[in-house]
Structure 1
Amino acid sequence: MIAPKMFPRRNARILTGIGFLTIAGLMVYKTVGPFESTKNPEALHGPRAKSARDDAADLLTQSPQHLRKQKEYENQILANIQKMSAHKAMQRRMNHDPMGVILHKRPSLLQGLGRVRDMKEQAGSVVQRSVVPENQLKHKIVHLDLKGAPPKVEYFKKLFPLLHSFGATGLLMEYEDMFPYWGKLEFLSAHNAYAKGDIADIIELAKKSSLIIIPLVQTFGHMEHVLKLKEFAELREVPNYPQVVCPTNNKTLPLIKMMIDQVMQLHPGTDWLHIGSDEVYNLGECTRCQQYLLHHQFGKSDLFLHHVRSVAKYVKENYDVQPIMWDDEFRKIPLKAMEDSKVGEVLEIMVWKYSSGIMVDLRSDIWEKYSTVFGGIWVASAFKGAANPDSYITNINDRLSNHKEWMEIFELYKSTIPFQGIVLTGWQRFDHFGVLCELLPQAVPSLAVNLMYINERKADHGALVKVGDMLKCSSFINLDLQYLEYANKCDFPGSAFYEVSQKLYILKRDINTMMKNPHVTGWVSDYNIEHNFVSPQHAEQGLQDLTMLLFDYGKVMNEAETALSDVFDEYTVKEWISLNVKPTHTKLQKLHASISKLQKVKYWPRRPLDSTETKEL
């Protein structure tokens, strides 16, 4: 599908193509018909011009048999065009994702011949949508990464029913420092963490929307929120790095058990607990671990397996709950070591990959190893937060490609692997110390599109229109930021911030275009401004949109603050504005002030510009 502003140019090409083929078809027909003389270009000039025009007029009054044959031929040409376009559309979907979809408007042939198949599918979509595909993934879990930026409980009240309508069956809640730890662990909670009553409300809201909750507790890697603190610094595997806990420290397991106890106390009745343990970058590096490895004749893999099995066993034996763990550390562990550790008796595995190339990175031998060891296997995609650590807007096409690859994996292995379900991760920070990235409200359309694809294996016009209707979008859903021309207007929980994020993206792109204008790069550089040596004419030509962009940017900054306040607390609002809006706004203000000052300059010094004369001026 294509953005509206691209229609006129493409339609012109399509009309030209249809006109050419139709005329060509008539000319071919006339080589065997009564008007053969007109096939000669020379016949349209000179004395015979009138005869040619008469012949052309006769085309409109030829016999019914000729008209019927002509019509049949034209229909045949159009059918071939449609067939060819549908084939190309299929190829595009195999190799590329759509750029967007126009809503509430049935596309005609001239609005994109590549939509022919979509139109046919849309016509029968009511029947098709009611059919649940066989061997569907049972669980479609939405990951809510809450660290350092907790959405308001009131927002969840509006969001959870929508997630259920998208086809979600549960939530993976990664609280981290947003969990209300108490007693000896109260220092693990941020000052703006949820209260115990908030957790109870969240669980009740999820239950009302038929969403199960799987809490996540980090127990090995990514324990920054614990190990950053002075009180727990001694548990670090590497003294200067607060990412990984030391598995051989006698205080480590009691701490982890206490964290699990408190989380489980506030989540009664849950069937799963995710114990994290991904990206354990520093393993077996401290002196204590080195001595432990030497004494037990262990390798680092054995040390890893021993720790995660101990944690999983504690969860399973004390709470009758099934532990789940990220898989990345298991990829490099030999099958025999995993079998000897009996880790598969207490753990289910969650295989994650958020970028392209899943088939390459997760080869068949890895799947064979996992299916041999584990009785339950989950997969994890990403609907947001998997691009750049400072990204503030989600490119849906990238996320859709990730989910398409995962569904290919599912189709390939579903007969041999006990897939439990899929978790659509939505990272809000890359880790505890990372900046905010791709906040939840602006990624709701991405989540909707990808849940739709998982459920129906479709991302065609009909499926996307359905998503647009559910999100109450009025005009257009953009899937590829490369083609974003205007902000999409919708009406779902957090849609105001979705619109603001798009406006900000468009403005930043326009500002970047302005700053790369040759008039600016060649005559209005920082060096020129610093030395009051700017060409007024080039400054006016290059920065003619500066005042307007500065005004629009200030307006978007105010809109962002209002939109964010509907979802997040004041700390998250302030952090996001400081990271994503203020730096550019400040730069524009300084540039505007500098140019306003330089416009008053009427005389300029002789070079060199660093001379005493210049400085005095």
Structure 2
Amino acid sequence: MIALNMFPRRNARVITGISFLVIAGLMLYKTVGPLDGTKNPEAVHVPRARSESGNLLTQSPQHLKKQKEYESLILANIQKMTAHRAMERRMNHDPVGVMLHKKPSLLEGLGRVRDMQEQTKSAVQKSVVSENQLNHKIVHLDLKGAPPKVEYYKKLFPLLHSFGATGLLMEYEDMFPYWGKLEFISAHNAYAKGDIADIIELAKKCNLIVIPLIQTFGHMEHVLKLKEFAELREVPNYPQVVCPTNNKTLPLIKLMIDQVLQLHPGIDWVHIGSDEVYNLGECTRCQQYLLHHQFSKNDLFLNHVVSVAKYVKGNYDVQPIMWDDEFRKIPLRALQDSKVGEVLEIMVWKYSSGIMVDLRSDIWEKFSSVFGGIWIASAFKGAANPDSYITNINDRLTNHKEWMEIYDMYKSSIPFRGIVLTGWQRFDHFGVLCELLPQAIPSLAVNLMYINERKADHGALVRVGDILKCSSFINLDLQYLEYANTCDFPGSAFYEVTQKLYILKRDINNMMKNHHVTGWVSDYNIEHSFVSPQHAEQGLQDLTMLLFDYGKVMNEAETALSDVFDEHTVKEWIMFNVKPTHSKLQKLHASVNKLQKLKEWPRRPLDSTENKEL
């Protein structure tokens, strides 16, 4: 995952950049051909096939016709999208936030007038908006190692429905209550079977469909870390990827699927993971299998996922979905020969900016010709840094804006099922906690609002603030966060805590970078009791206050987290995100207080034996 740019781009530049990139992509397609393993004979000399009439062909007439249709469609969509953006654009940049419940400035007042004018648009214009809607807007709940309390879902699910969400993608991982031979997979603080039933019932009451996610290839650390299943690793020292040729692998995966689907009756979809399958085909068994069957690693991958998908579809009449990243590098012919599209739907994910560059038209053409159902996946949190504890909404909004541009461009030719707004709580099973769910509710609200209305202007943000019952300011960019906003939504106390913590850590960092500290109160100075009292007073004049405020926020964090998570999650988050800095401040405060009592200092060199004896 890659952190996004801090500043949003101007809409006009976005459209111009998109037009250039897509047209350049089409020119590249004509020059070097699609990037699915084939080449274009117009650019590179390759042996040419003969048609039944004996004429030499560079490509089949059907392929050429389809290519031209695709190019025309893309260019037409670009023109429509450019016109639409030009009409809707009222400001030359995105806001960094919105003030709530105060007398508006002249600029804000003009914005509200424009918002009122927009509300009076004709029914024809409203029907255009409805045509832009995705059927499903699914919120991903990443639960691994940090399960929210069931009581929290009772408050959260109605709010998600009010934002326009239509379902949940539940990534249980070790939080699922496996039993029998699989009981060791579940964490000690996993949900009980009754909890799963309650969660499903709560979702049903709020008209939210549930899609469980089961890892079946990559990211199986929660299973393969255990000694009971260590023999199934593709690489003995790495517990990420399961060996697809081990005779015990499929029985294990099928049993996991059986137990998860048993507790999720009547569902329509199940996600079978399979992203980031590193170290594929590296074990001795897989190498021998590839040699014996004359398979490539792509064949090995497809053989496994098709087997899993067939089991799901054939035994439960449930449609499996998979992440798309491994399919991007597999040639079209290999996908068609495997018939993977007959049993799988695909979920195309990209959480950073530059979607148009990374997911070019040839990839969409390949996917649309193979899969009957295509999902897209954005991120409303947890896609910046693995140790991040607070979400920068502007980055997430940029990601969703780009995805909606992709959707507008291809919706007439690609069978999009819906969008999943992912919210990662750890980068993987071994990762630390990142951007916990409650503090990212404003980000989720803003981005769902944008998906539904294609707006992130003043009026839209005010409506979000009203729904979240925020009292002052909704911040979109952490660079401009000056004070913590107070809201009243499920988990809002923790949202406030993370803002306070961010501001305090920034103030502490500024203090420690002050030249009075870096030049005269360094660790070296402290260790050798050679600190300038005057510089210590000037550089660390706010130390006592910051230490007090930090201790207060640490206590507030424990209380706020306890409303949502169990004690284990609370301890882990505080241990990683709060205590190290608090301990450092306490140690510095004690050292400086002691050193400021000194009235005499040693001669140099400071590391001499004489000084050490003193």
**What band does the TM-score fall into relative to the shorter chain?**
0.7 to 0.9
The question of whether the paired residues in 1 share the 8 Å contact of 2:543 and 2:589 is answered with yes
Please state if 1:202 is matched with 2:196. no
Matches within 5 A, 1:148-163: 148-163=145-160
In the alignment, what sits opposite 1:250? 247
Mapped to 2, the partners of 1:232 and 1:88 lie a distance apart of: 56
The question of whether the paired residues in 1 share the 8 Å contact of 2:111 and 2:459 is answered with no
Task: Classify the secondary structure of the residue corresponding to 1:584.
Answer: helix
Task: Classify the secondary structure of the residue corresponding to 1:329.
Answer: coil
Instruction: Please report how far the alpha carbon of residue 124 of structure 1 lies from its aligned counterpart in structure 2 after TM superposition.
Output: 3.7
Instruction: Please report how far the alpha carbon of residue 282 of structure 1 lies from its aligned counterpart in structure 2 after TM superposition.
Output: 1.0
Task: Classify the secondary structure of the residue corresponding to 2:315.
Answer: helix
| Equivalent in 354, 379, 382 of residue 382 of structure 1 | 379
Mapped to 2, the partners of 1:87 and 1:554 lie a distance apart of: 51
Of Structure 1 and Structure 2, the greater helix share is in 1
Of 121-130 and 490-499, the range deviating more from structure 2: 121-130
Matches within 5 A, 1:247-326: 247-326=244-323
Instruction: Please report how far the alpha carbon of residue 119 of structure 1 lies from its aligned counterpart in structure 2 after TM superposition.
Output: 3.4
Matches within 5 A, 1:102-113: 102-105=99-102, 107-109=104-106, 111=107
Mapped to 2, the partners of 1:104 and 1:140 lie a distance apart of: 30
| Equivalent in 590, 593, 596 of residue 593 of structure 2 | 596
In the alignment, what sits opposite 1:518? 515
Please state if 1:564 is matched with 2:561. yes
Please state if 1:549 is matched with 2:551. no
Please state if 1:116 is matched with 2:110. yes
Instruction: Please report how far the alpha carbon of residue 127 of structure 1 lies from its aligned counterpart in structure 2 after TM superposition.
Output: 6.2
Instruction: Please report how far the alpha carbon of residue 613 of structure 1 lies from its aligned counterpart in structure 2 after TM superposition.
Output: 2.2
In the alignment, what sits opposite 1:329? 326
Mapped to 1, the partners of 2:362 and 2:351 lie a distance apart of: 20
CA deviations over 1:3-61 (Å, ceiling 9, x no partner): xxxxxxxxxxxxxxxxxxxxxxxxxxxxxxxxxxxxxxxxxxxxxxxxxxxxxxxxxxx
In the alignment, what sits opposite 1:402? 399
Instruction: Please report how far the alpha carbon of residue 493 of structure 1 lies from its aligned counterpart in structure 2 after TM superposition.
Output: 0.1
In the alignment, what sits opposite 2:92? 92
Task: Classify the secondary structure of the residue corresponding to 2:156.
Answer: helix
Distance 1:130 1:568, change over 3 A: farther
Runs (4+) off by over 4 Å? 86-91, 126-132
Tell me the amino acid that sits aligned with residue 357 of structure 2. Answer: V
Please state if 1:133 is matched with 2:130. yes
Instruction: Please report how far the alpha carbon of residue 123 of structure 1 lies from its aligned counterpart in structure 2 after TM superposition.
Output: 4.4
The question of whether the paired residues in 2 share the 8 Å contact of 1:119 and 1:461 is answered with no
Q: What TM-score does the superposition give when structure 2 sets the normalisation length?
A: 0.84
| Equivalent in 527, 531, 546 of residue 530 of structure 1 | 527
> Any gaps of 5 or more consecutive residues in structure 2?
1-85
Task: Classify the secondary structure of the residue corresponding to 2:387.
Answer: coil
Cα root mean square deviation, aligned = 1.6
| Equivalent in 212, 217, 229 of residue 214 of structure 2 | 217
Mapped to 2, the partners of 1:524 and 1:544 lie a distance apart of: 13
The question of whether the paired residues in 1 share the 8 Å contact of 2:382 and 2:423 is answered with yes
User: Highest CA radius of gyration, 1 or 2?
Assistant: 1
Tell me the amino acid that sits aligned with residue 196 of structure 2. Answer: I
Mapped to 1, the partners of 2:500 and 2:197 lie a distance apart of: 36
| Equivalent in 121, 142, 146 of residue 145 of structure 1 | 142
The question of whether the paired residues in 2 share the 8 Å contact of 1:227 and 1:236 is answered with yes
Mapped to 2, the partners of 1:557 and 1:229 lie a distance apart of: 34
Instruction: Please report how far the alpha carbon of residue 615 of structure 1 lies from its aligned counterpart in structure 2 after TM superposition.
Output: 1.2
CA deviations over 1:314-368 (Å, ceiling 9, x no partner): 0000000000000000000000000000000000000000000000000000000
> Any gaps of 5 or more consecutive residues in structure 1?
1-85
Distance 1:139 1:479, change over 3 A: same
The structure whose RCO (Cα within 8 Å, separation 6+) is larger is 2
Tell me the amino acid that sits aligned with residue 92 of structure 2. Answer: R
Mapped to 1, the partners of 2:180 and 2:90 lie a distance apart of: 59
Tell me the amino acid that sits aligned with residue 282 of structure 1. Answer: N
CA deviations over 1:574-617 (Å, ceiling 9, x no partner): 00000000000000000000000001100011100001222122
In the alignment, what sits opposite 1:78? none
Task: Classify the secondary structure of the residue corresponding to 1:381.
Answer: strand
Instruction: Please report how far the alpha carbon of residue 133 of structure 1 lies from its aligned counterpart in structure 2 after TM superposition.
Output: 2.3
| Equivalent in 184, 189, 204 of residue 187 of structure 1 | 184
The question of whether the paired residues in 1 share the 8 Å contact of 2:169 and 2:212 is answered with yes
CA deviations over 1:253-281 (Å, ceiling 9, x no partner): 00000000000000000000000000001
| Equivalent in 435, 455, 460 of residue 452 of structure 2 | 455
| Equivalent in 537, 541, 551 of residue 540 of structure 1 | 537
Distance 1:117 1:473, change over 3 A: closer
| Equivalent in 375, 384, 393 of residue 390 of structure 2 | 393
| Equivalent in 416, 428, 433 of residue 431 of structure 1 | 428
